[in-house]
Structure 1
């Protein structure tokens, strides 16, 4: 048996502000964003992306044939919407899935397979003959986006991927789903392919792998002595304009990294963060207090601001940073990913 070795992971999947607009009703415990021009949503609490595909009935065929063709077109529309949304998901605060797809044939193939493997729900038949079908994929798990964007060393045997060879046609190829539904059928049902123009990728900092995020500087704050046994930490980011991510970074006031980003971590950490995400999300402190992840005695800290190009990283005051680092030394709350963000 091999001994666990430190790994580096660019963690995090933050959906692009260009694709998603936050919709977080105060009465809801789940942190949900509306996506795809109102036809989809990302539930960051349950870890699912759901879109509603729609199909209009064609002018040909008998009633049964038209219904079948319309259902197939609705599923195809859902797949196309998922492809568009996933391309804007953030791997970290400076990098989107589209950047990874552009740089790696294997990731392109895996993302395309994720879209094609999405699970359609039951069809809803509308009075005008149109059909709507919900299509869902997971953010977390080896079969979700987290499993695709995790490093090779975290993948199950046989899933290692090429992370270096570029393919600048990958973004366009991601949406080539015509094998699922013939283009003639799509045309007959008045569906247009998702038109996503390739955007030049940001340059990659030296040593950053596929990420566009500069390598972090670890915090140098001197921790205070913490004697309490905390079961987790709740970072209150309400009202600061933060956006959810599967692994946002926690920083001190000077930009020193306290929690994750590309911090060294043991292999034993991999399964948990792939399946559950680096942090949990709620939209209320009360709900955060009820999460098993936070435990019965969480440390509660208020972020002073949000950082990162896509507003994913929480910044603490130096006093709060010292308290968090001290609590980690005593209770290992960050080492066990017992972290919850409230947005």
Structure 2
């Protein structure tokens, strides 16, 4: 068997026999060639190289054309970053518009994002650039005004004084209620048309926060993301984020003009508060929100597939 054929076969075996795959969660398309994986935080942008021909060798592509495609891909990647919603009030772009120094740092980070040219795991004649809504990028785009780990739950303007007084957050938990056994929280928000965001808040029916930035540290959110969004309710898939015994609750609706925040029943909110306080859930941000599948799923040959190749290459 020729060596050039043998090597791809071996590499393919190593890639597809991996015992565990990253939890991609909801994979949201952005324009042409862009995807956001809300499980891993992976941002991918793929662009074709001008002048590429399907039956030509990638080695024959002009270096100038490849460089131009990379520049275009990084511009698309920056547009995607700026469009991400931080919460129910602002996008990343709106936040950075008030801080030119911070905006320049984000542009510099994206301009030096990971690049992969045409090769074994790419569609013919394309380049791929990637970044993550984690670590350095998350540190830049999460506003310092967010009061992480304050233990003070936010209240919606619609919350009444009586509703606040009656919330489970102010009532003692029953001893031995069994909440310590849960390994995470899964909120089923399918059907409520929720919009993914970096810092959503889960509210109870009285408008008092049950989970969100006020219960988790900034460092943990930067490393893991406050929540992960997913479309698959398979327990084996979700276990990577929430463990094998998550608390399952149902969303009653979404709040805000962008529908980024979640409303759950008061009884469910009581359990969520108790579970988060009792275990390592807040430390690991072990919360998944189930959302509806995108109307148009990414095709097997587009950026979503390329993202998996990038992770395994």
TM-score tier after normalising by the smaller chain length:
0.5 to 0.7
Q: What SS is found at the alignment partner of 1:78?
A: helix
Secondary structure in 2 matching 1:93: coil
Structure-1 residue corresponding to 2:205 = 253
Map of 1:100 onto structure 2: 95
Shift of 1:257: 1.4
Q: 1:83 aligns with which of 78, 81, 85?
A: 78
Q: 1:74 to 1:92 in 2, by over 3 A?
A: same
Runs in 1 of length 4+ with deviation above 3 angstroms?
A: 287-290, 328-336
The separation in 2 between residues aligned to 1:232 and 1:51, in whole angstroms, is 31
CA distance in 1 between counterparts of 2:209 and 2:116 reads 42
Q: Match for residue 24 of structure 1?
A: none
Q: Which residue of 2 aligns with 1:39?
A: 33
Aligned-residue CA RMSD (Å):
3.1
Unaligned runs of 5+ in 1: 1-27, 59-63, 153-206, 210-214
Contact 1:33 1:41 in 2 (8 A): yes
> What does residue range 1-343 of structure 1 map to in structure 2 within 5 Å?
30-35=25-30, 37-57=31-51, 67-123=62-118, 131-141=125-135, 143-144=136-137, 146-151=138-143, 216-217=154-155, 221-222=167-168, 223=171, 225=174, 226-229=177-180, 230-261=182-213, 263=214, 269-287=217-235, 290-331=238-279, 333-334=281-282, 336-343=284-291
C-alpha distance in structure 1 between counterparts of 2:241 and 2:146, whole Å = 30
Mean CA deviation greater in 114-123 or 326-335: 326-335
- 1:29 to 1:76, Cα distance in 2 relative to 1, 3 A: closer
* TM-superposed deviation, 1:227: 2.7
Provide the rounded CA distance (Å) in 1 between the counterparts of 2:199 and 2:226. 5
Q: Count matched residues.
A: 242
Unaligned runs of 5+ in 2: 1-22, 53-58, 148-152, 157-163, 292-313
CA distance in 1, matches of 2:96, 2:228: 26
Q: Is the Cα contact below 8 Å between 1:29 and 1:287 reproduced in 2?
A: no
For residues 81 and 113 of structure 1, the distance between their equivalents in structure 2, rounded to whole angstroms, comes to: 14
Residue 8 of structure 2: aligned partner: none
Residue 74 to residue 316, structure 1, CA distance change in 2 (3 Å): same
Give distance in 2, aligned partners of 1:117 and 1:276.
22
Structure 2 contact 184–281 (Cα < 8 Å) conserved = yes
Distance 1:232 1:66 in 2: 49
Note the C-alpha offset of 1:51.
Answer: 0.9
TM-score normalised by L of structure 1: 0.62
Please report how far the alpha carbon of residue 332 of structure 1 lies from its aligned counterpart in structure 2 after TM superposition: 5.8
* Alignment TM-score, normalising by the size of structure 2: 0.68
Distance in structure 2 (CA, Å) of the matches to 1:328 and 1:69: 53
Shift of 1:132: 2.0
Give the CA deviation at 1:79: 1.4
